Structure 1
Amino acid sequence: MEPAAVDVVVIGAGQAGLSAAYHLQRRGFAPAQRSTGAAPTFLVLDANPGPGGAWQHRWPSLRMATVNGIHELPGFAVPPADPVAASRDILPAYFADYEERFALDVLRPVNVKGVRRVDDDPRGRLLVETDGGAWTAQYVINATGTWTRPFRPHYPGQERFRGRQLHVADYVSAEEFRAQRVVVVGAGVSAVQLLDEISHVADTFWVTRREPDWVEADFDIPARVAAIAGVEDRVRRGLPPGSVISVTGMHWTPWARAAEARGVLVRHPMFASIEEDGVRMPDGSFEPADVILWATGFRPALDHLSPLRLRTPEGGFRVENGRSIDEPRLFLIGYGPSQSTVGANRAGRDAVRAIMADRVALAA
């Protein structure tokens, strides 16, 4: 069966993908399912069973008052919500209302298997292959985020540990660790937030590879601009994006302050190895553990782009202003500097602006 042809395929219906779809529609594109043949078309593919992006998978104890970086989707504000309501209850419903309000016609669940060039023509089409069919497109806007690729580092002896190991992506609530000893690994926002939460019901032991660089100043607009600039430089050179924290240092959050006030925000160096009942520290001492919680972040979910052969020897993609430098028909949004919700909104808008500029130039 011949692949169906559309003008733009958007892969992913999280914040970045829905932003791109909204701006495509505002610029005169129509969902392919509603096409009458007059307007250019777009198609949004999403691997999740329902709306909400990564929010539908967050742990139940993540409340609206404590989520890090909610930002409304363009054209429709987040509805008022009880601060103690679970984000996984409020935000997926908001995303679902958004898709319906703007008739974005997201296809799901659809898993993208590969994106490849149809031929050698640099102005030709890209082929998007999925478990639900295939489409060709003049442009692909990739907005697959990171949630499906939790990073679990390997440490000597890991397979011998008799306790439980889990990643933040698997976390449900602190109650499952009550009265146990939990080693929390990682220096990011989630690590500190869960350290604070778990330490109310369990004995916690916090380890990081590097000493956290605590920054007293607020994470204000200049700090955010500096962080984005640092990540932008990395992705332009084809380096893995890294985390914002690696650029800005750790800013104090309410949960970090709370953990410090209770005396549980005590950082230890990373353990050297894992044993049956705990971890061996660099100085040879032993720390018992029932649980190891890997709060070690996520990696971009981009394996489906492998047929394009864009990954650099350093492991990244060369991207400038959200567009692949080596394959201009491809946009990577929600990647690198646009990974925040605010950045994802802007990246979706900017990708559509670039597509419109191309179309004008080709028509001239």
Structure 2
Amino acid sequence: MKIFCSKDALLSGVNAVQRAVSGKSTLPVLQGILIVAEQQSLQFAATDLEMGIRCEVPAQVTEEGTVVVPAKLFSEVVRKLPETTITLEERDKTITIYYHQSEITLNGYDPDEFPLLPDLMDPISFTLPTTIFKNMIRQTVFSCAIEENRPVFTGTLLQIEGSSIRLVATDTHRLAYSIAEMPNPSELQFSGIIPAKTLSEIYRLLHEEDEILTISSSDTQVVFQFGAIYLVSRLIEGQFPNYKQVIPQTCETKVNLSLKSFLEAVERASLLSRDKSGANIIRINVEKTELRIDQTSELGKISEQIEIKMEGKDVMIAFNAKFLIDALKVIDSEQIMFELSGPFSPGVMRPLDNPNYLYLVLPVRTS
């Protein structure tokens, strides 16, 4: 294998795939990046057997070939290369990098041992604008569980029905729901749980210039294609909970308030709400035309008042401050409606100007 390309091309290929490299695999070759030189491009690929990413960059190929390079070392070397034309040559599982009058040789792995990323057989496929999907990920993926003892909660439910696409994420303490319209002339249907890591990676890799995203799926895997990126991921097995049963259809109190004012007040109150156990609980009192947060701890005390418009009953309720802040940071609206039904029922936040998003959060019982 012998190719010429720019440092930028190498770097974009490495950056695209390196998060799929396995960190703790018993197979050493999975700690590498597969590089394939053919026609006039370089193809980079990495996988941890749960998720795989392939990316193509332009190059001048004078001799086709394949090599697997150690991911961490190769990416660090590429970052430190000068801005000049780089030559890569592969011989007997080693790769030599030439630049100016200098060279670096790295020992690689056997390409025959590298698992190929699958191309799905007879998949069902959908396309939609990348900006829509990227925003849906941003507004939901943070609600996935981190602990892996119940795998279905570590992913986001993706549903496509008719002309609607839905993302739903929950860690059992909160739930984020986003829905959007998409073209689906064939009325194809899909429902699958996608690992949070996969969606976070798609969010990182999607750029504005990648206008269209193609989603293809089989029973066990899903593929996302956009720009020069091909990303394949396993689907999480199991039954996602019936989220529709969890979302309250009525409420006793409706609070219309400024998102910015509420976010800033909660952030300030949370500074004084951390107790010895590490909990970060704030108490909210909704009364007539104001929402009050009074916080007292061994660190000091704070009293916040926000003007609101309210319908229904006065209410006192406590929440984990982090769960409120996470949602308030991703809602794109100046005003929100906060729906409450007493101190023991979930609160539901909705952007006033967007009926396609909601965030449900369970209260904290306090003594």
User: Whose helix fraction is larger, Structure 1's or Structure 2's?
Assistant: 1
Larger gyration radius, structure 1 or structure 2: 2
Question: Considering the TM-score relative to the shorter chain, is it more than 0.5?
Answer: no
Report the TM-score, using the length of structure 2 for normalisation.
Answer: 0.24
Greater relative contact order: 1 or 2 (C-alpha under 8 angstroms, separation 6 or more)? Answer: 1
TM-score (normalised: structure 1): 0.25
